A = this chain, B = another copy of it.
Amino acid sequence: MNEPTPSNEAIPSPRKKILVVSAHPEPRSLNASLTAFAVDELRAAGHDVQVSDLYAMKWKAAVDADDFPGHSADERLHVMAASERDTLADRLAPDIAAEQEKVRWADAVILQFPVWWFSAPAILKGWIDRVFTSGFAYGPEVPPPYSEGPLAGRRALLSVTLGARESSFSDRGIHGHLTDVLHPLQHGLFWFTGMAPLEPFAAYEANDLPADQFAAAKREYARRLHGLFTDEPVPFRSLVGGDYDHDMRLLPGVEAAGTTGLDLHVRPRG
C-alpha cells in the first residue's frame, strides 16, 4: 500500500499530494474502511495518494538507539541530540527516512485512527515519536515552531473513531471537549511543526455503527475530504505574531473576554 503514485506535471493545479497514515490492526475495521474510502475519494478527485498502513508495515513503535546509526553503543543516548545529529547527517534508520520523505512529499497529511485512551494508538504515537525528529520537524536548525515550522504549507486532518457518544465529547461532555482532548495532536504536533490543522473528523459510537449511520459518516467525511485544501484551518495563534511574550506566554488582554484554557491559543473567529 506504500508505493508512490507517480506525479504528473501535465495535470492542472488542483492536483495535490496526500499522505494517509492509518493505525488499526484489523483490515476489516471501520478505520480501514475509512482509509480506503479516503483513498478512493481523493484519487477520484484527481489527487495523488500514498498510504502508510502502520500495522501492515509492522511499524516499530519505540524510539531507541537503533533509530540513530550515528550513535555509538557506549555513549549515553540523548534522544533529541542524537535525533538532530543523524537527521542533519542524513543517516536516520531507513524506515524513518522513508516516512519523512512521504511527509515532505505531501501537501496534506491525514491521520486515521481509533481514539484509545483519549489519544492515538501506540503504533501511531510511535510513528510520530520516530518520524518527527529534531532537524526535520523542529529544533534549532529549522524555522521556529507554531505556524512557521519546517512543515509549513501543509494541511493536516485527524480522522478518528470513538466508541463514546458525541455528547460525552461535547463542550460540557465528561471526557472533555474533543478539541481539547486532541490538543496534543492538533496544536502540539500539526501546528507546532507548521502544518495547518483542520477541525477533526470524528465518527462516534463506532464500536457498533449501523449501516445507515456509517453511510452518513462517509458522506460527511467525503465533504471534509473535498474541503481539505479549501476549508478554513483552526486559527491557532502564531508564536511570532506578537501574541506571546519572550517566555512564550500569551500577553495579557490579547484574548476575548472570558476565554480560558486551551482556547486561549485560538484567535477569535469571525
Contact = CB atoms under 8 A, between A and B. Distances in A.
Contact of A249 (B29, B170, B189, B265): B170
A189 B79 contact: no
Nearest to A181: B184
A265 B174 CA distance: 7
* Most B C-beta atoms less than 10 A away, residue of A116, A174, A258, A264: A174
Interface in A100-132: 114, 116-123, 125-126, 128-130, 132
A63 interface: yes
A61 interface: yes
Contact of A61 (B26, B62, B180): B62
B122 A184 contact: no
Q: How large is the interface on A (under 10, 10 to 19, 20 to 34, 35 or more residues)?
A: 35 or more
A80 B248 contact: no
Contact of A126 (B78, B122, B260): B122
Given A79-B114, A125-B121, A128-B117, A172 B250 contact: yes
Nearest to A188: B118
Contacts of A239: 174
Nearest to A80: B207
A187 interface: yes
Contacts of A4: none
Contacts of A177: 261-262
B121 A63 contact: yes
Copies per complex of this chain: 2
A125 B122 CA distance: 5
Interface stretch (A8-16, A86-94, A148-156, A161-169): A161-169
Nearest to A24: B79
Nearest to A30: B78
A248 B168 contact: yes
Contacts of A248: 164-165, 167-168, 173-175
Interface of A: 25-26, 28-29, 55, 59, 61-65, 76-81, 114, 116-123, 125-126, 128-130, 132, 146, 163-165, 167-168, 170, 172-177, 180-181, 183-184, 187-189, 207, 237, 239, 244, 247-250, 258-265
21 contacts: A26-B65, A61-B122, A62-B121, A80-B163, A118-B184, A118-B189, A121-B125, A122-B123, A122-B125, A122-B129, A146-B174, A167-B249, A172-B249, A174-B250, A176-B188, A177-B261, A184-B184, A258-B260, A259-B260, A260-B260, A261-B261
